[in-house]
Amino acid sequence: MDDLEPGCASFQSYCKNIVGHDTSSRFAMLLTLPCRFKEQRPDSEQADSILSSIPEELLEELLSTDDEQLSRFQDLAIDILETLLPSCSSSILEDFAPLIPYLVHRLEAAKKDINALDSISKCIISLCFDGDLACTEYVHETADILTSFCVENSKDFPFIAVLKRLTECMLILQHHDENYELVHEHHSWPKNTRAILNSFLKTRTEMLTDEMRTTVFRLTKEVIETLGTDWFAPDVKLLLLLVHLVVVQVRMCLDKPESINLESLAVCFHILEVELMVYRFTSCFLAIGGAQMLPEALLQKFSPIMLQIFERSVAARDFKTAHLLLPNLDALPHLNDNIIISIVDLVILQYPGGEWKQAIDDAICTLESLRSRVDYYSNKTVEEARSKLKKIIPNCKLLETLSCM
């Protein structure tokens, strides 16, 4: 086999050599291939030629087996794919797309090895980047595995390589219409990316580098592009903290006008632009008569989000937010029949040491404004709300109002 390994001074001669041998000889030649990449990067034609010479079945077998004796060859296969795929033409990428599930399997098996996660996810991303809708599920799975690693291995912070792969996953998912609720229901990465961002934003400034900040804010920007502002609905405080620190980052970028990091500045401005839109909508919605000024289509879109924020703020005892939204519930075009329970919970959770009396007055005013509507309660939920209130505050005006419903 020695006569196969040396003598290929250029990729041109190497490609001619590798195509002319049987499978075992070609694979033996591939053992030296990664070293050659360090000296000369293959162009698209060369990468296509080399990858086409490798039997797809051989790669599938290597990637799917759990035989420890073949681990060296598995690593080699991934090393070759990682280097060749970014240079391959779209037709070759399409031919090798059947490798994606095997790579995801290997990614799951390597979820404690940050270097393996980086290499394997690069291969998956290369094969999925121009893929069809069927590929997106594998990208979701890849994002789940990568974010789980970040959440479970905080000691390895800041996982810059993994965060860059996550950003690339988001760029793929943006080609498709992602429904936040469906993604959140079936995948863990939306929740995990919030946890990653939250951990980053609460890290001491002296521990962060410009590269870390740029990487995390770029990922944040792409997640927002993928899922929209719905992503912040479960944790509004995260949104506020993000805005504060993005403003700080902008100031840091502008402190040295002679060496401004344009990419970092553009990412920060994009995030701020999105948050400014949220701020303008919220300010208008909460203003007296402001909801009537908003386009109906916009209210239709944001109605479920505002309801979620109200319900979650009550459950989290964030009474300030809940009281801001309470008198504006009648402006939302769609309510759900659990709202009556959340309104009663807002009173009960502040009893006896909080502002429960004011909460009762506000709740009665809100129910009066909703008198002409029937979408915020059902027989079952109003009975549940009445029963809960009667056990805690048996004699109150709100109970009388509920009894008349």
Residue 346 binned pLDDT confidence (cut-offs 50, 70, 90) = very high
Contacts with 392 (C-beta within 8 Å, 6 or more apart), sequence order: 348, 351
Give the Cα separation of 183 and 137 in Å (integer): 10
For 222-244, write each residue's pLDDT tens digit.
999 999 888 887 888 898 899 98
> Which residue segment(s) compose the domain that 383 sits in?
293-404
- Predicted local distance difference test score (pLDDT) of residue 389: 92
Residue 329 near residue 339 (C-beta atoms within 8 A): yes
Is there a domain that residue 301 lies in?
A: yes
Is there a domain that residue 196 lies in?
A: no
Mean model confidence pLDDT for the chain: 84
Is there a domain that residue 46 lies in?
A: no
Residue 24 predicted with pLDDT over 60: no
Is there a domain that residue 220 lies in?
A: no
Contacts with 180 (C-beta within 8 Å, 6 or more apart), sequence order: 190, 227, 228, 230, 231
Give the Cα separation of 161 and 127 in Å (integer): 18
| Single-letter residue type at 276 | L
- Predicted local distance difference test score (pLDDT) of residue 127: 93
Give the residue-averaged pLDDT of 50-59: 81
Is there a domain that residue 387 lies in?
A: yes
- Predicted local distance difference test score (pLDDT) of residue 125: 95
Residue 5 predicted with pLDDT over 80: no
Say what the pTM is: 0.75
Backbone angles phi, psi at 125, to 5 degrees: -65, -40
DSSP letters for 24-56? HHHHHHHTTHHHHHTT----HHHHHHHHHTS-H
For 316-345, write each residue's pLDDT tens digit.
899 998 999 999 999 999 899 999 999 999
Is there a domain that residue 299 lies in?
A: yes
What CA–CA distances, in Å, run from 311 to 172, 181, 229, 260, 299? Answer: 33, 16, 17, 43, 18
Give the residue-averaged pLDDT of 56-61: 81
Query: Minimal CA–CA distance to 146: which of 121, 182, 177?
Result: 121
Length of the chain: 405
- Predicted local distance difference test score (pLDDT) of residue 16: 53
Contacts with 312 (C-beta within 8 Å, 6 or more apart), sequence order: 233, 234, 318
Residue 103 predicted with pLDDT over 80: yes
For 347-370, write each residue's pLDDT tens digit.
999 998 889 999 999 999 999 999
For 188-225, write each residue's pLDDT tens digit.
999 999 999 999 988 887 888 888 888 999 999 999 99
- Predicted local distance difference test score (pLDDT) of residue 160: 92
Q: How many domains does the chain have?
A: 1
Is there a domain that residue 319 lies in?
A: yes
Residue 85 predicted with pLDDT over 50: yes
Give the residue-averaged pLDDT of 147-164: 87
Residue 217 near residue 249 (C-beta atoms within 8 A): yes
CA 108 to chain centre: 18
Is there a domain that residue 61 lies in?
A: no
